[in-house]
């Protein structure tokens, strides 16, 4: 639990846009030291300039969070500049869809690299630093927030590679929470599970690395991209509102952070089916017309 943020240090990945940028803005208002991380240079530079204009100490680093060596270097740079961070927001993420057997090896490597390995590296690099700081000072407090998704609690069709990455982040963060509770009361953990919120994730192909190129999109992938862009762009909850929820959760030591609590009904249905050993429920039960349109589009072959 963190209630006093002034003078504390935040490490934020995916800081150039979306949730990362909005969390950074709140951190600026609360006078935190900022380590801003993004893979997109122009977005990172804008975030750095905004932080400097706000008068807060800032370290900006272009980092591919999927790269272990780059994340190790980031940890060393943060330690040298600010010491152990009090708040780590493992937030960088990308999206890809389509029928699960149509994703290429490069698709899997890219999505899992950013969405899962980026979180793994953030936990691996910064948790020991935070625990050492806590052991040295009984008053020290820290918190780690990992960005997953409602797709980490559900299994919507035609977006399997993304679902897999986000389910893994939920499992990783739940385990991190339990592991931390074994060794300390000074460092907490939360998982952010947003639903459809207007961010830049539906255009994440812009930052796909050249060594993991995309193949010509399949019909299911084109359909999935169009549906994702429509759903994300039409979201009514803003990234800024979600960012406030992140800070509230840290202050309350609350583990699960939801942007759309009403979306938990399908989660409850899924979990009940698991407990009762039933087949997975219809993901389109509340909106059957969407399921009918998707099935028709995928079966038409045209």
Q: Is 195 a catalytic residue?
A: no
Residue 37 lies in a domain: yes
Q: Would residue 129 count as lying in a domain?
A: yes
Residue 271 lies in a domain: no
298 within some domain: no
141-198 tens-digit pLDDT: 999 999 999 999 999 999 999 999 999 999 999 999 999 999 999 999 999 999 988 7
pLDDT one digit per residue (tens) for the chain, 302 residues: 898 999 999 999 999 999 999 999 999 999 999 999 999 999 999 999 999 999 999 999 999 999 999 999 999 999 999 999 999 999 999 999 999 999 999 999 999 999 999 999 999 999 999 999 999 999 999 999 999 999 999 999 999 999 999 999 999 999 999 999 999 999 999 999 999 887 766 677 888 999 999 999 999 999 888 888 877 777 789 999 999 999 999 999 999 999 999 889 999 999 999 999 999 999 988 889 988 988 998 998 65
Q: Domain of 209: which CATH number?
A: 3.40.50.720
Give the chain's end-to-end CA distance (angstroms, integer): 54
User: What is the pLDDT, as a whole number, of residue 302?
Assistant: 52
- What CA–CA distance (Å, rounded) separates 260 from 247? 16
- The secondary structure of the chain, three-state, reads CCCCCCCCEEEEECCCCHHHHHHHHHHHHCCCEEEEEECCHHHHHHHHHHHHHCCCCEEEEECCCCCHHHHHHHHHHHHHHHCCCCEEEECCCCCCCECHHHCCHHHHHHHHHHHHHHHHHHHHHHHHHHHHHHHHCCCCCEEEEEECCHHHCCCCCCEHHHHHHHHHHHHHHHHHHHHHHHHCCCEEEEEEECCCCCCCHHHHHHHCCCCCCCCCCCHHHHHHHHHHHHHHHCCCCCHHHHHHHHHHHHHHCCCEEECCHHHHHHHHHHHHHHHHCCCCCCCCCCCHHHHHHHHHHHHHCC
pLDDT score recorded for residue 202: 65
Residues of the domain holding 237 = 9-261
CA distance 82 to 94: 28
Could you tell me if residue 185 is inside a domain? yes
The total domain count for the chain is 1
Q: Is the residue at 2 inside a domain?
A: no
For residue 81, being part of any structural domain is answered with yes
In a domain? residue 26: yes
pTM over 0.75: yes
Question: Out of 162, 177, 195, 256, which one is annotated catalytic?
Answer: 162
Q: What is the pLDDT of residue 262?
A: 87
């Amino acid at each position: 639990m963190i209630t006093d943020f002034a003078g504390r240090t935040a490490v934020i990945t995916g800081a150039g846009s979306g949730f990362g940028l909005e969390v950074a803005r709140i951190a600026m208002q609360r006078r935190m030291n900022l380590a801003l991380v993004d893979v997109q240079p122009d977005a990172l530079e804008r975030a750095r300039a905004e932080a400097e204009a706000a008068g807060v100490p800032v370290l900006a680093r272009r980092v591919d969070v999927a790269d272990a060596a780059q994340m190790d270097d980031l940890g060393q740079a943060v330690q040298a500049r600010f010491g152990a961070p009090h708040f780590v927001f493992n937030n960088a993420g990308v999206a890809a869809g389509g029928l699960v057997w149509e994703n290429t090896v490069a698709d899997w490597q890219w999505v899992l690299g950013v969405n899962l390995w980026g979180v793994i590296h953030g936990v691996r690099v910064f948790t020991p630093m935070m625990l050492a700081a806590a052991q040295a000072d009984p008053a020290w407090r820290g918190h780690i927030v990992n960005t997953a998704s409602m797709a980490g609690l559900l299994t919507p069709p035609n977006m399997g590679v993304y679902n897999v990455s986000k389910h893994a982040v939920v499992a990783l963060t739940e385990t991190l929470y339990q592991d931390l509770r074994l060794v300390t009361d000074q460092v907490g953990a939360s998982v952010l599970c947003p639903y459809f919120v207007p961010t830049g994730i539906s255009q994440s192909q812009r930052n796909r690395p050249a060594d993991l190129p995309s193949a010509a999109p399949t019909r299911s992938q084109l359909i999935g991209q169009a549906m994702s862009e429509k759903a994300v762009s039409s979201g009514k909850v803003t990234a800024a509102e979600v960012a406030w929820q992140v800070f509230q959760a840290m202050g309350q030591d609350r583990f699960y952070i939801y942007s759309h609590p009403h979306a938990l009904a399908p989660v409850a249905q899924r979990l009940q089916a698991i407990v009762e050993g039933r087949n997975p429920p219809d993901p389109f039960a509340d909106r059957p017309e969407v399921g009918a349109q998707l099935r028709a589009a995928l079966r038409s072959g045209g």
